[in-house]
């Protein structure tokens, strides 16, 4: 049995810390439970009362007449551990700890560890501590300290929130928008019940049609993401991840490490898992409404009807920014619109958006216009926008209602209709009862409609994915491991460029060869044998960003030029590393410069990055990310997602690039970072892309052992060039 069934459908609940004072948490929790209409047995527990609110009260859970399912704990933090142990010994399956004062404050961290250890030893499950609790409108059940939540209407939404306050805010917003909620839970400190547990439970609940998540940040997001991957083909998951500060208090090692902020990774991870990512509570609520009421569209072509052109302009602008397209109406539709609307106003526009102008005076004209869009195979979604007008609003609403009652709303359909001073609230509620979402603003409606299409796209991609299996490159693991082991045995955490390139080449990554040169004379002879022009580079495990100190010399040809470059690099490098050496490699022909990298994130594990490269990569930040391991489809999507993808497609007459060698490197890097967990970062920039091949020109690899902020004194942490 799913252990969460005990939490959401308990046969009995003990309120530990119940109070007769309705202004105290213990009193509010008991009132919430009693006023919710809960049909199970309630046991108030308080040693100072014989009864509370007319219910027999017990001095401790040990003296209850029978075992109970759930303990609702509302006692001071220092008493919580004993309360958890008492509940476990009394046979409870789980507890909801409302009490605060744990890891959310410095002095409570050890106390929470002790409670977790008690849970591990007894097997009891804990929601919280420091939680608002949970509700189940189907039970009905209100295990919170907010009695008002009895007003939440039963409906198709499941809500998982990290914050109790935000959980309340979202529940109230759903209530105001006529959206019912099935189950909601605020997880608080997540002692041993996690997002992934609740997500799996909600996914198996047939009453829940849409799952909403409010997330601030979790230590290990992977279980949540893996659970979402299983669900999102069948049930939409919408998440609002609050964006924290992206300031990183550490010395930057690589471009990859700098660009991979936690918010970027959450966005990437959500997309990979099929989670719809929203950027505000408004958008979360709007998306919940449309997903709970509308069918999934077959495409992204939207037909727009409005008597007020400005509304159509705003909607069209946002819709196109969000990935929708204005439908090109069929010629037969335009002819029919001309016939239907020409008598209404000489300046009505019958292209898309359709400006019906004073056609709103004729209800049948509105009906016929909408009917034509429903019948047009070039239209996937239909939007009707209308600002309140005392003379015409009734026509609009009646037209929509008649079409709905006749079963002629055959495509996803949204209505924008404002309601001054709540004048239309009851009428709008009636329309939404017919599965037609209504919005008060055009931009909010456009984003909601775009998210409906995003979910359709998520489902379609999951159905047509080439393979769900990750790629694993052929690799001489023993040989590759020996390189890393040698570096670690020297007490180093940074591979020199020759070491990094040798390591990459073992995995089949094409790199420019690097030869260590012992003198300026040998540099000249080596350059002749390799072919000029040549490149000289500083080689040192202590100096990562070579070009910042003049440690890279390009396009060297003559003997004098090569010798001077060699001596200059040594002179500058010895300021930071007396053992500095110089490496020589052939100058790669010009091509398109990209960056390929990987980082092992403390939360997400190995992550792969791709983008336009060169010295300005951090300025433009035209990059994409994926969690490793990669498959072929994910690698190709990464390449196609960047804004500069057109450069690879043959921009301005250039030869288009074969993407397969690029995708191949991405997958090989994925293999390396998933095979060798000691790799912290790989940074290859630039990687030069030619029409049918790819060449890694420069590379850096950092191993675990020190954070980037702790490398001062071992690595020269200069800014990027």
Percent of the chain whose predicted confidence (pLDDT) is above 70: 92
Of 125 and 351, the one with more pLDDT: 125
389 and 499, same domain (yes or no): no
Residue 683 has what pLDDT?
93
333 and 396, same domain (yes or no): yes
Strand (E) or helix (H) holding 652? none
Q: Which residue bears the tokens 């439908």?
A: 327
Residue 408 has what pLDDT?
96
Whether 341 has a pLDDT exceeding 90, the answer reads: no
Decide if 202 is inside a domain: yes
Region 140-156: mean pLDDT is 97
115 and 246, same domain (yes or no): no
Q: Which residue bears the tokens 């213990």?
A: 26
Segment among 11-25, 672-686, 702-716 with least mean pLDDT: 702-716
Output the CA–CA distances (angstroms, integers) from residue 613 to 6, 617, 689, 721, in the order listed. Answer: 53, 5, 11, 12
Which of 701, 706, 682, 253 lies closest to 491, judged by CA? 706
Specify the CATH number for the domain of residue 685.
3.30.470.20
Decide if 443 is inside a domain: no
Q: CA-to-CA distance for 336 and 682, rounded, in angstroms?
A: 61
Whether 260 has a pLDDT exceeding 50, the answer reads: no
583 and 639, same domain (yes or no): no
Output the CA–CA distances (angstroms, integers) from residue 189 to 104, 192, 295, 593, 681, in the order listed. Answer: 7, 9, 36, 45, 31
Decide if 432 is inside a domain: yes
Q: What confidence category does residue 525 fall into, taking pLDDT thresholds of 50, 70 and 90?
A: confident
How many C-beta atoms surround the C-beta of residue 425 within 10 A? 12
- With vertex at residue 610, the alpha carbon angle to CA 659 and CA 666, rounded to the nearest 5 degrees, is 60
626 and 552, same domain (yes or no): no
Residue 469 has what pLDDT?
52
Tokens representing residue 374 in the block: 């429903």
**Which residues constitute the domain of residue 428?**
295-436
264 and 333, same domain (yes or no): no
Residue 121 has what pLDDT?
95
Specify the CATH number for the domain of residue 232.
3.40.50.261
- With vertex at residue 212, the alpha carbon angle to CA 319 and CA 236, rounded to the nearest 5 degrees, is 65
The answer to whether 498 touches 516, Cβ cutoff 8 Å, is yes
Q: What confidence category does residue 468 fall into, taking pLDDT thresholds of 50, 70 and 90?
A: very low
560 and 422, same domain (yes or no): no
Tokens representing residue 50 in the block: 């014989």
This prediction has a pTM of: 0.88
Decide if 245 is inside a domain: yes
Region 72-89: mean pLDDT is 96
Cis peptide before 353 (omega within 30 of 0): yes
Strand partners, 600: 606
Region 158-178: mean pLDDT is 96
Strand partners, 593: 688
223 and 335, same domain (yes or no): no
- 707: Cβ contacts below 8 Å, ≥ 6 apart: 250
Whether 275 has a pLDDT exceeding 60, the answer reads: yes
Report the number of distinct structural domains present in the chain. Answer: 5
pLDDT in tens, 277-310: 999 999 999 999 999 999 999 999 999 999 888 9
Among 419, 436, 453, which residue terminates a domain? 436
Alpha helices in 49-108 (DSSP H): 77-89
575 and 615, same domain (yes or no): no
The answer to whether 61 touches 14, Cβ cutoff 8 Å, is yes
Residue 608 has what pLDDT?
95
Decide if 136 is inside a domain: no
Decide if 317 is inside a domain: yes
Among 543, 564, 587, which residue terminates a domain? 587
Decide if 441 is inside a domain: no
287 and 184, same domain (yes or no): yes
Decide if 446 is inside a domain: no
381 and 241, same domain (yes or no): no
pLDDT in tens, 368-405: 999 999 999 999 999 999 998 888 888 889 999 999 99
- With vertex at residue 185, the alpha carbon angle to CA 181 and CA 190, rounded to the nearest 5 degrees, is 160
Whether 187 has a pLDDT exceeding 80, the answer reads: yes
The answer to whether 83 touches 99, Cβ cutoff 8 Å, is no
Residue 531 has what pLDDT?
73
Q: CA-to-CA distance for 438 and 418, rounded, in angstroms?
A: 9
Among 525, 558, 587, which residue terminates a domain? 587
Q: CA-to-CA distance for 47 and 50, rounded, in angstroms?
A: 8
539 and 647, same domain (yes or no): no
Mean pLDDT of the chain: 89
């Amino acid at each position: 049995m799913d252990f969460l069934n005990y939490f959401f459908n308990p046969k009995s609940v003990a309120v530990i810390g119940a109070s007769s004072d309705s202004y105290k948490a213990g009193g509010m929790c008991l009132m919430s439970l009693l006023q919710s209409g809960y049909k199970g047995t309630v046991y108030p527990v308080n040693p100072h009362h014989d009864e509370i609110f007319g219910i027999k009260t017990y001095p401790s859970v040990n003296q209850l007449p029978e075992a109970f399912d759930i303990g609702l704990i509302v006692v001071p933090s220092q008493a919580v551990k004993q309360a958890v142990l008492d509940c476990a010994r009394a046979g409870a399956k789980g507890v909801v700890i409302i009490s605060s004062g744990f890891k959310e404050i410095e002095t409570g961290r050890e106390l929470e560890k002790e409670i977790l250890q008690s849970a591990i030893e007894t097997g009891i499950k804990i929601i919280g501590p420091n939680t608002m609790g949970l509700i189940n409108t189907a039970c009905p059940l209100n295990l919170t300290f907010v009695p008002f939540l009895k007003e939440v209407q039963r409906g198709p939404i499941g809500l998982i929130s990290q914050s109790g306050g935000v959980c309340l805010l979202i529940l109230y917003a759903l209530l105001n928008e006529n959206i019912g909620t099935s189950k909601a839970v605020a997880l608080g400190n997540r002692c041993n019940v996690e997002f992934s547990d609740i997500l799996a439970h909600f996914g198996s609940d047939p009453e829940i049609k849409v799952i909403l998540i409010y997330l601030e940040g979790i230590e290990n997001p992977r279980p949540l993401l893996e659970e979402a991957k299983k669900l999102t083909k069948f049930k939409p998951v919408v998440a609002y991840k609050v964006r924290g500060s992206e300031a990183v208090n550490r010395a930057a090692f690589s471009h990859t490490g700098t660009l991979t902020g936690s918010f970027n990774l959450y966005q990437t991870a959500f997309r990979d898992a099929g989670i719809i990512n929203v950027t505000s509570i408004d958008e979360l609520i709007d998306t919940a409404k449309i997903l709970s009421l509308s069918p999934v569209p077959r495409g992204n072509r939207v037909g727009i009807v409005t008597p007020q052109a400005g509304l159509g302009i705003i909607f069209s602008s946002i819709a196109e920014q969000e990935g929708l397209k204005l439908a090109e109406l069929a010629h037969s539709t335009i002819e029919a619109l001309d016939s239907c609307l020409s008598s209404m106003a000489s300046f009505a526009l019958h292209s898309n958006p359709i400006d019906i102008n004073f056609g709103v005076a004729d209800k049948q004209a509105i009906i016929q216009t909408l009917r034509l869009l429903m019948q047009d195979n070039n239209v996937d979604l239909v939007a009707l926008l209308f600002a309140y007008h005392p003379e015409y609003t009734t026509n609009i609403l009646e037209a929509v209602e008649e079409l709905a009652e006749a079963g002629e709303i055959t495509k996803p359909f949204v209505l924008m209709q404002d309601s001054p001073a709540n004048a239309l609230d009851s009428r709008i509620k009636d329309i939404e009862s017919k599965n037609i979402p209504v919005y008060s603003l055009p931009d909010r409606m456009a984003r909601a409609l775009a998210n409906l299409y995003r979910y359709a796209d998520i489902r379609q991609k999951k159905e047509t994915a080439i393979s769900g299996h990750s790629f694993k490159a052929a690799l001489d693991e023993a040989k590759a491991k020996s390189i890393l082991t040698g570096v670690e045995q020297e007490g180093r955490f940074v591979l020199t460029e020759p070491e990094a390139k040798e390591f990459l080449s073992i995995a089949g990554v094409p790199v420019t060869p690097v030869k260590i040169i012992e003198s300026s004379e040998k540099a000249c002879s080596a350059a002749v044998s390799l072919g000029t022009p040549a490149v000289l580079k500083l080689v040192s495990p202590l100096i990562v960003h070579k070009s910042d100190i003049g440690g890279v010399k390009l396009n060297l040809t003559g003997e004098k030029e090569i010798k001077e470059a060699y001596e200059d690099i040594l002179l500058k490098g010895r300021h930071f590393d007396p053992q500095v050496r110089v490496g020589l490699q052939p100058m790669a022909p010009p091509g398109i410069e990209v960056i390929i990298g990987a980082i092992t994130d403390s939360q997400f594990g190995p992550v792969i990055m791709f983008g336009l490269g060169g010295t300005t990569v951090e300025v433009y930040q035209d990059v994409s990310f994926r969690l490793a391991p990669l498959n072929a489809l994910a690698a190709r999507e990464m390449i196609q997602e960047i804004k500069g993808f057109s450069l690879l497609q043959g921009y301005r007459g250039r030869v288009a690039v074969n993407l397969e060698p690029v995708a191949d490197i991405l997958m090989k890097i994925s293999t390396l970072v998933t095979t060798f967990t000691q790799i912290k970062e790989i940074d290859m920039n630039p990687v030069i892309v030619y029409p049918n091949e790819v060449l890694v020109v420069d590379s850096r690899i950092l191993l675990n052992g020190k954070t980037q902020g702790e490398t001062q004194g071992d690595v020269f942490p200069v800014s990027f060039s």
